[in-house]
Amino acid sequence: MIDIHSHILNGVDDGAASLDESIAMLKEAAACGIDTIIATPHCKDIAKFNKELILEKYNELVPKALEYGIKLKLGCEIKISPDIREIIAAEKVFKLNNTNYILLEFPFETFPIYSREVIYQLQLEGITPIIAHPERNSFFVRHFETLQHFIERDCLLQVDAGSLTGSFGRQAKRFAKRLIKEGLVHFVASDAHTADQYKRWVKKSQIKARKWAGEDRLMDMYAGNAGNLLEL
């Protein structure tokens, strides 16, 4: 498995709180069959996004990851904002594995009115948004046509493993199932913040994905698409 969404770097967001916890996450990820992880710390407020600290924590963890047979790459989970294009152009954040793909987060309850224009402008710059966990966004659940608008305009979707297991509630699980069965999901990722989440979510989610989509599409969602698109 290639995991494109993980809060494994310690002391940079609400993920791992210490290096020991990051190492525990690596251990559980390896036990799940994961051999590549993109570390994606939150970027919710660019003024508080410490790029230098993230690089320090990333470089510290890379050799530890190799001890568990895991290649660690870098990205971030960027919250949508009116100035996101300028932020990316100024290289203030990390694209996924230094490609032209970004992991883009929407608010869980609302839909910013500037979203369509922002994504359009990003795509004009050659940036492809991967929408993080849309199944957990209550607006997308209620207004599927809005999410479909982005799908039709070549945005990609990443669903959380925990949603498939029911860890984020019945609504998220039902919507994740619908997206997977309709062939709309490009990536299933852990979105893990702790070692226990790797342990509880990843293998169990694969059982659900295999049932809903079949073996070939499971492989695409858990590894193939990430390997091809993100040059992993």
**pLDDT profile of the chain (232 residues), mean per 10:** 98 97 98 98 93 98 98 98 94 96 95 96 96 97 96 97 97 98 98 98 97 97 96 85
Residue 212: closest CA among 170, 191, 184? 184
What pLDDT sits at residue 59?
98
Tell the burial category of 31 from Cβ atoms under 10 Å away from its Cβ (0-12, 13-18, 19+). Answer: middle
What pLDDT sits at residue 232?
82
The structural domains of the chain, ordered by start, are 2-229 (3.20.20.140)
What pLDDT sits at residue 51?
96
